[in-house]
């Protein structure tokens, strides 16, 4: 994540901060020394939304938990596939 910018920095260079969010994903913005908002680039937001959707899939999350606990056995993929 990039350096925290102030609301007045954002007001002085909106297009620059939009560009920065596109490039870096997330740009924190502060007001009175406290982060109050984040500019989030489209690709980063899409990835976050996809992650949230996957986390709502109970069967998938059960498989992830089983894998993390070592209960999932993977079979080798045969050559030629």
9's tokens: 């920095």
Query: What is the predicted pLDDT for the residue at 29?
Result: 97
Q: pTM for the whole thing?
A: 0.68
Per-residue pLDDT tens for 11-40? 999 999 999 999 999 999 999 999 999 999
Strand 5-6 with 34-40, pairing = unpaired
**Whole-angstrom distance, CA of residue 59 vs CA of residue 21:** 34
């Amino acid at each position: 994540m990039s350096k925290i910018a102030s609301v007045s920095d954002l007001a002085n260079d909106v297009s620059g901060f939009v560009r920065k969010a596109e490039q870096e994903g997330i740009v924190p913005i502060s007001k009175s020394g406290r982060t109050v908002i984040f500019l989030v680039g489209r690709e980063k937001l899409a990835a976050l939304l996809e992650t949230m959707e996957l986390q709502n899939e109970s069967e998938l999350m059960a498989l992830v938990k089983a894998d993390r606990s070592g209960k999932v056995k993977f079979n080798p993929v045969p050559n030629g596939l």
